[in-house]
Amino acid sequence: MKINISHIAKLANLTLLPDEKLKLEKQLEETLDYVEQLNQVDTKNIEPTSQVTGLENITRDDIAKPSLSQNEALSNTKSKHNGFFKVKAIFKENE
Amino acid sequence: MNKLTLQKAKESLKNKDFSAVDLTKACLLQMKKTEPKLNAFVTVTENQALEQARKADVELASQGDALEAKPLLGIPIAIKDNFSTLGIRTTASSKVLDDYIPPYDATVVKKLKDAGAVILGKTNMDAWAHGSSTETSDYGATKNPWDTNHLPGGSSGGSAASVAANQCIAAIGSETAGSIRQPASWCGVTGLKPTYGRVSRYGVIAMGSSLDSPGPITKTVEDSALILEVLAGIDEKDATTSPKEVLEYSKHLDKDVKDLKIGISSDYFIKGIDKEVEELIKTAIKKFESLGAKIENIKLFDPKYAIDVYTIIQRSEVSSNLARYDGIRYGKDRESFAEEAKRRIMFGTYALSSGYYDQYYNKAQQVRTVIIKDFEKAFEKVDIIIAPTSPSLALPVGATKDTSMFGEIADVLVEPSSIAGLAGINIPVGFSKSGLPIGMQIIGPQFSEQLVLASAHQYEINTQNENWRKLTPDL
């Protein structure tokens, strides 16, 4: 099995150095080989379990409750402008 | 007095043998003495702790029944650094959150404060709770108080080491699969992993959201029961919390184990298990038998597959949960993730990526169903299951270096019950010849905390006079 490590890093939004890529590629392959043994378990007609609580459709009333103030919500950011988070532009000009 | 159990400390505070400030100062002094060797804390909140203790003393002096309304009034407690604490730095032992000051309290923290607890600080852990050693912390490894050349286990290693070293009266940890029970085992203390959904995850820095379970790490079983009473319960801020009634766990620990059916599975005494661990667990099982319990050999689904299920599900959930850390709203950007987090994010991203989802994530979730059904079948025959918590003694410092799945393999014996969301506890059963603690786990069905705690308590009080219980770490 060959992993496209650069593609996965892009999906994960991680910047990896060349030797990090080599090391992680080797380790991911080791881990994938390891978990191969799961194929020994017969799972024909077995439903997957995504949660164990048995609870379903837990909702709350759609009523606004006290929450963080704008200042509190912004208290940890390094980049703000007029009470908003300031982020890098995601569109380029002329597009 | 920092050596006292929670129950004893409560009695002393009630009897005015000493004040909450005295008790807090004794813990802080022990921290000053032992922290250079242990590194159990990331952040110590000395001033806030003394302030909380002063307030507790006022309440203790003015109200005779103050400890009824606030069951942890004046009790110094250490909290794992993945619980958000209002105004107190919360790093999850990762440099990504080096300067993060949460603007709110996790539900667990709020409940501790409402119960009057004094918060001593935030304990060290594997970064993001990714590990079973506390060696992957970006703030340096925590050392095992019984031998500082060894690891405390993890990820709640700081909490477990702190309790073992009597730096606090009790501590809070969190477990995704093993992170309470395994460090409790390696440090020789009690660690309760409640049923998934028994204790709110709100404000806990998420690791594997379908698994994460906060719980107490304490000196005795009774102390864990006292803290669970405070922490458990439904929380509208965590939709996975159960509406089931919270019991007065500490008041019903005296039920004897006569005719209790205990399941033992040879599948949990895996190949390569430490011989002293095996021997002491088997001795503990005989103790239960001598107390009138019925021991039954049962067949359980091979725990080796739980490693695969856990690795896939947890790393997938990790990759999703850590996607939010972009340095925009809080914390530093993704350049600050260390090696273990990157390894887990990368694997999880791969497992969830187009074309591989069925092969890995879906397959793991199907085997998760197999594990759940296997336990359901077992609990038709027996009330609880007993097994070693960890197949090894505390490993030497450096053991995790260049390993690709250290934590997941180390936690093989606790992963199946975590995957099924069950209740479990680690209690100490003795020491190796080399002086390292050995722990036993008791596993029960979902929401069987009362039975698990009572069974553990019965073992504890019936072995109270064994010589090994007199040992204390030499620090």
Question: What are the tens digits of pLDDT across the range B181-191?
Answer: 999 999 999 99
Check if B349 contacts A (Cβ < 8 Å). yes
Task: Spell out which residues of chain A touch residue B212, defining contact as CB-CB under 8 Å.
Answer: none
CA distance A24 to A19: 8
B453 domain-assigned:
yes
Neighbours of B241 (CB within 10 A): 23
CA–CA distances in Å: residue B169 to residues A58, B79, B464 = 36, 11, 19
Indicate if ipTM > 0.85: yes
A94 domain-assigned:
no
Check if A15 contacts B (Cβ < 8 Å). yes
B316 domain-assigned:
yes
Q: What would the pLDDT profile of B376-418 be if each residue is shown by its tens digit?
A: 999 999 999 999 999 999 999 999 988 888 888 889 999 999 9
Joined together, the tokens standing for residue B397 give 């410092």
A61 domain-assigned:
no
The chain A residue lying nearest B325, using CA atoms, is A13
Contact B365 A48 (CB under 8 A): yes
- For the cut 90, the answer to whether the pLDDT of residue B368 exceeds it is yes
The count of domains in chain B is: 1
CA distance B11 to B281: 33
Domain that holds residue A29: 5-36
Q: Rounded to a whole number, what is the largest CA-CA distance in chain B?
A: 66
Task: Spell out which residues of chain A touch residue B346, defining contact as CB-CB under 8 Å.
Answer: 5, 8-9, 12, 14, 24, 28
Measured at the alpha carbon of residue B318, what is the angle toward residues B304 and B88, in degrees to the nearest 5?
120
A63 domain-assigned:
no
A12 domain-assigned:
yes
Residue B66 belongs to domain with CATH number: 3.90.1300.10
Query: If DSSP states are collapsed to H, E and C, what string results for chain B?
Result: CCCCCHHHHHHHHHCCCCCHHHHHHHHHHHHHHHHHHHCCEEEECHHHHHHHHHHHHHHHHHCCCHHHHCCCCCCEEEEECCECECCECCCCCCHHHCCCCCCCCCHHHHHHHHCCCEEEEEECCCHHHCCCCCCCCCCCCCCECCECCECCCCCCHHHHHHHHCCCCCEEEEEECCCCCHHHHHHHCCEEEECCCCCECCCCECCCCCCCCEEEEEECCHHHHHHHHHHHECCECCECCCCCCCCCCHHHHCCCCCCCCEEEECHHHCCCCCCHHHHHHHHHHHHHHHHCCCEEEECCCCCCHHHHHHHHHHHHHHHHHHHHHCCCCCCCCCHHHCCHHHHHHHHHHHHHHCCCCCHHHHHHHHHHHHHHHHHHHHHHHHCCEEEEECCCCCCCECCCCCCCCCHHHHHCCCCHHHHHCCCEEEEEEEEECCCCCEEEEEEEECCCCHHHHHHHHHHHHHHCCCCHHHHCCCCC
B142 domain-assigned:
yes
Q: What would the pLDDT profile of B264-273 be if each residue is shown by its tens digit?
A: 999 999 999 9
A25 domain-assigned:
yes
Contact B346 A72 (CB under 8 A): no
Check if A56 contacts B (Cβ < 8 Å). no
Catalytic residue among B93, B133, B155, B250: B155
B1 domain-assigned:
no
Report pLDDT for A1.
56
Q: What would the pLDDT profile of B82-128 be if each residue is shown by its tens digit?
A: 999 999 999 999 999 999 999 999 999 999 999 999 999 999 999 99
Check if A57 contacts B (Cβ < 8 Å). no
pTM above 0.90, yes or no: yes
Task: Spell out which residues of chain B touch residue A61, defining contact as CB-CB under 8 Å.
Answer: none
Report which residue type is found at A31. T
CA–CA distances in Å: residue A43 to residues B352, B369, B371 = 19, 9, 11
Secondary structure (DSSP) of A17-56: -HHHHHHHHHHHHHHHHHHGGGGGS--TTPPP-S-SS---
B384 domain-assigned:
yes
Pick the residue of B213, B234, B300, B329 with the most A CBs within 10 A to test the interface with A by mutation.
B329
B475 domain-assigned:
no
**Distance from the B159 Cα atom to the nearest Cα atom in chain A, whole angstroms:** 26
Domain that holds residue B161: 6-470
Q: What would the pLDDT profile of B313-337 be if each residue is shown by its tens digit?
A: 999 999 999 999 999 999 999 999 9
B100, B308, B326 member nearest A76 (Cβ): B100
B324 domain-assigned:
yes
A77 domain-assigned:
no
The count of domains in chain A is: 1
B376 domain-assigned:
yes
Contact A53 B196 (CB under 8 A): yes
- For the cut 60, the answer to whether the pLDDT of residue B358 exceeds it is yes
